[in-house]
Chain A
Amino acid sequence: MKSNQIILLLALLTLSFSVKLYAQDFNWQALNQQSNRLQGKLSGTIYYLPPEGNSQHFYQKGWPEGSILLEDGDVFENVRLRYLAYGDELIAYNSSLNQLFVVDKEKVAAFTVKLPKGKQEFIKLYFNGFLAGDRYFEKLYDGSRKLLAFRSINEVKTGIYNDNKGRRKHTVLKLTSTYYMYSDETGFRKIQPRRKSFLNLFPERKKEVRQIFRKNNFYNLNEQNMISIFTLLEEEGFFY
C-alpha cells in the first residue's frame, strides 16, 4: 500500500470516528421540527418509574394533560403530567424522547392538571416552616387569602402483612393533605378541617365565624366545605 493511500485511509477512519462522536451525542429519532420551541424548552431529570410507582406514588390516576407555567412567564400547554406526591415533584412526559422526567422545580411557577371532573391547580411556594423549601401546593381557593393543600404520600407504619406480591411489609403508603391559609403578606397558617381551627384564625371575630358555621350547617368539615367557608369569609370581609 502506498503511503498516500494509507494517509487517505487514516483520514477516512478519523472522519468516520468523528462522525460517530457527533452522532452518538443525540437521539436523532427524537429530533424533528416539533422539537423547535422558540419561547424556551422544558428541562428536568429523567424519572425512573419504580414498579409500584405508577399506582401508589402519584396524586392523579393516569397521565392527564395539563399546562406548566414557568417562572419567566412561559407556558407549556398540553403536556402529559402528574404530581408525584411521594416526593413533591412534577413529572412530565416527553413524547419525542418517550421518557418521563422530573421538571426542574426551580423553573416552575405553577401547573394545572386537566381532569374530567375539573382542573387541579398547583402553585409553587417557598414553605418557611418545618422542612423549609419550595413546595407544590394545590390551590383550592384563590382570593385575597388562598386555601392551599399540600398533598403528600408518605410511608405509614402498620402491622406486619404480606403485600400482593407476597412480600412481607410493615408500612403502607398513605395520602395525607395538610391545609394552609396563605397570602404573601401573612405567609402560611396551618388549618385543620375543624371548626376550632377556623375560630383560631380570627380570635377577635370568633362570634361571627361561629355564626357562619351555624347558618350554613358546617359541622363535619370536608374540603368542599372549607372552600365554601373561605368564600363566605372573603364576602364578609374577614381577609381585609
Chain B
Amino acid sequence: MMKIKFNKYILTLFFLTLIHLGFAQTEKIRSGLSLFADREFCISGDTLWFKVAHKNGKDEKSNIVHVQLTNATGSLISSAVKKSVGGWAEGYIYVPDSLSSGVYFLSAFFNSQRTNGKHDIQLRSVFVYNRFRQVISEFPVPAKTGIRENEYYQPGVAIKPGKSLFKPREKVTADIDLKRIKSAGIKQVVMKAAYLDELAEETGGNFYFSSFESDSGAPPFEESDGILISGKVVSPVSGNNGKNVVVLFSLLNDPQYFDYYITDSHGLFHFFLKNAIGAGEIVLQAISESGEEWEVSLETVKMDTSEPVKLENRLLTPGQMNFVEEIVDAAFYSRLFGESYTPRFPEFKMTPRFKMPFYGNPYDRVVLSDFIELSDFQEISRELLHGVQYRERGNDVTLRMLNLDANQYFENQPFRLINGIPVFRNSLLAPMGSDEIDYIDYVLEDRVFGDLRFSGVLAVYLKDRSNGWMARQSNLFRFILPLLQPDNTPSYMEVRPVDENIPDLRRVFYWQLHATDNNLQIEFSLSDVKGKVKLSVEGVTPEGKMFNASEIIEVK
C-alpha cells in the first residue's frame, strides 16, 4: 500500500516537472531574427558581411537590426546597426586588426528585445585568425554541449556545379534547383560560395542561447527607421544619478536639429534619431535647476546571453596548421595589393524631418560678409540685429529680444546657440566678430519646443565648424557615434577586370540574396587560393526555421 502511494507521489512529481519545463520553454520568445554570414572564418582586419532575415511579431514594428560580434564570454568586439528592407537587413561588421585568434560569435537583435523578456538568440560562430600570428598549434573551439543547431529544416536543394575539381581562377557555373524551397513558401534564399575551413565546418555553426534581460531602463520603444541613443547622467562629485536633469542634444552634422530629455530617477536619458546614416557627431549637455555640474556618458547597446559559450582547446592537425599559415599569408598579400575596404566611418546623411529649423523660421538671417567688418558681438547686435538688446555692465553681458507679437522686450534672455549647441554664457559670444561669425539667425517670437519655452532665439553660426570654442564651456560632452549603416556591397561582388599579374586572393566568391521564383544559376570566378570551396543555399522558412544545403568543390 505504502509503495503504491509512494509511486503515485513520484508520478505526480514527474508530471509537475514536465508541466513546469513546458512552461519554462514557452517563457522564452523567439527573437524572430535569423543571421547569415558571408564566411565561417576570417582574418583579423577583414570586413565581414551579414544578412539578417526578420519577421516581426504581432504589433511589432522594429525595422532596425543590431548586429554584434562578441567573444565567447560575451564581450563586445564590434557592432553595426542596419535598417531592414523587405524583411532583410544587409550590412557589414569590422573584425578588428588586433583581434586575437579564436572563435567569436555574431548575433542579431532588436534594441527593444534587450529589455522585453528573454529571447532565443542565435550566435553564429566566426573563426578568426590573427593576421600577425601565423603559427597556431591549438585553437579554442565551441565545446559540444548539445546547444549547436546547424539546420532545423532539410530543404532538399540540389546544387550542381557540373564537376567537383577546378583550377585556380576557373569560372564556376552552378545550377540550383529551388522547386522544393519555393513549394515550402520560402521566398528568398542566401546563396554563398566561400573558401572552406574544415575546423570551422566541423565545430562551428549556429548556437542558441537565452538572452539576458537588461536593466538598462530603455523605454518600451521600438526602433523604426531610426536609432535610439541612450545614456546616463551622474554627478562627478557624489557619483549620484542625475534625476530630473535636462539633457540637451545637438547634432553637429545638422545644427538645425535639437532635442531634449528629462532624466528619470536612475539618471537615464534616451534620444531617437530618425533616418540618420553614417557617423554622427553629437554634443550633449546636462543642466539641472540647481546648476550642478554633471557628467554624461553613453550606453553601449549590447545583447547579453544568460551564459557564456563553453570552449575547449583543440590541437590542430598539420594540415590545419598549414591552412592557417596559407590564409594568413594570403591576407598579407591581398592587403599589399590594395584590396578595397569599406570606410570605417561612413559619411553622415540625414533627411531633414522638416524644412524649418527646430527654432522656427528666423525673423532675419544676417550674413556677416554682406556688411562691414565689426569687431565684436556688441557691435554686431547694435548695427545689424534689430530687436536684439545687448547690455554690458562690468563683466556681465545680458541679451534681450523683442517679442514682436507682444510688442515688448522679453524679460528672459533668448535661447542662444553656437553652431546649433545651446550656450548659457554670453561671455562666449561677446568676443565674436565678423571674422569669426558666418551668419546669425534670430527669432523675435515666444517659441515653444515640446515643453521648452524660448524667449526668442539667437542662433550664431561660425565660419569654423570645428567648434574649438567648446573648450571654454565645461559641461559639453562630444561623441562620435556610428548610426545607421549605409548600403554597401562587398568588393568581391563587384565585376573587376582580370589582371593576371596581380594575385587574386579572395576567400569569398559569391554572396547574394535571391528570389525563389525560378531555378537559379550562379557564376563566379575562383581565386588563386587552393583548397575546398563550399557552395551553399541558406535561408529561413516562414515558420522561422533555418536551413542550409551545400556542395563542396575542390580547387587544385
Contacts and interface: CB of A to CB of B under 8 A. Distances in A.
Contacts of B271: 38
Given A32-B244, A38-B271, A106-B355, A46 B448 contact: yes
B448 A31 contact: no
A27 B453 contact: yes
A38 B261 CA distance: 8
A60 to B, nearest CB: 21
A25 B424 contact: yes
A38 B405 contact: no
Interface string B389-417: 00000001000000001100000110100
A15 B453 contact: no
Interface stretch (B37-45, B186-194, B285-293, B529-537): B285-293
Contacts of B356: 104, 106-107
B438 interface: no
A97 B450 CA distance: 9
Given A21-B425, A104-B356, A45 B259 contact: no
Interface in A79-128: 94, 96-97, 99, 101, 104, 106-107
Interface in A5-60: 15, 17-28, 30-46, 48
Interface in B82-139: none
B406 A48 contact: yes
Contacts of B261: 36
A235 interface: no
Given A23-B291, A31-B262, A45-B445, A72 B450 contact: no
Contacts of B246: 26, 31
Nearest to B275: A72
Interface string B281-323: 0000001011100000000000000000000000000000000
Most chain A CB within 10 A, of B262, B274, B356, B451, is at B451
A166 B327 CA distance: 97
A97 B451 contact: yes
Contacts of B412: 24-25
Contacts, number: 114
A46 B453 contact: yes
Given A72-B353, A96-B451, A36 B424 contact: no
B291 A22 contact: yes
Q: How large is the interface on A (under 10, 10 to 19, 20 to 34, 35 or more residues)?
A: 35 or more
A43 B450 contact: yes
Most chain A CB within 10 A, of B262, B396, B448, is at B448
A92 to B, nearest CB: 9
Contacts of B447: 43-46
A41 B359 CA distance: 11
Contacts of A40: 353
A108 B377 CA distance: 36
Interface in B430-447: 445-447
Nearest to B475: A22
Contact of A24 (B270, B360, B413): B413
Contact of A45 (B219, B358, B360, B424): B360
Nearest to A24: B412
A32 B244 CA distance: 7
Nearest to A100: B448
Contact of B448 (A28, A37, A45): A45
B228 interface: yes
A71 interface: yes
A18 B425 contact: yes
Contacts of A96: 451
B341 interface: no
Contact of B221 (A27, A38, A71): A38
Interface string B176-215: 0000000000000000000000000000000000000000
B360 A43 contact: yes
A198 B424 CA distance: 61
B448 A44 contact: yes
Contacts of B445: 45-46
A41 B228 contact: no
A45 B405 contact: yes
B272 interface: yes
B23 interface: no
Contacts of B228: 38
B554 interface: no
A33 B360 contact: no
A43 B262 contact: no
Contacts of A104: 354, 356, 360
A47 B221 CA distance: 32
B458 to A, nearest CB: 12
B380 to A, nearest CB: 21
B361 interface: yes
Given A31-B246, A45-B446, A97-B453, A23 B289 contact: yes
A82 B290 CA distance: 37
B449 A41 contact: yes
A106 B221 CA distance: 27
B376 interface: no
B452 interface: yes
A37 B271 CA distance: 9
Nearest to A45: B445
A39 B445 CA distance: 25
A36 B272 contact: no
Interface string B231-266: 000000000000010100000000000011110100
Contact of B450 (A17, A37, A106): A37
B262 A35 contact: yes
A94 B451 contact: yes
A46 B446 contact: yes
Contacts of B264: 33
Given A48-B405, A71-B354, A35 B448 contact: no
B301 to A, nearest CB: 15
A31 B405 contact: no
A21 B424 contact: yes
Contacts of B219: 36, 38
Contacts of B287: 22, 25-26
A167 B230 CA distance: 59
23 contacts: A15-B291, A18-B291, A20-B291, A23-B289, A25-B413, A25-B424, A27-B451, A28-B289, A30-B453, A31-B451, A35-B450, A38-B271, A41-B449, A45-B360, A45-B446, A45-B448, A46-B446, A72-B274, A72-B353, A72-B354, A94-B448, A96-B451, A101-B448
Interface of A: 15, 17-28, 30-46, 48, 70-72, 94, 96-97, 99, 101, 104, 106-107
The 10 A-B pairs at the shortest CB distance, nearest first, are namely A19-B291, A41-B450, A46-B446, A35-B451, A38-B272, A72-B353, A96-B451, A101-B448, A45-B445, A28-B289
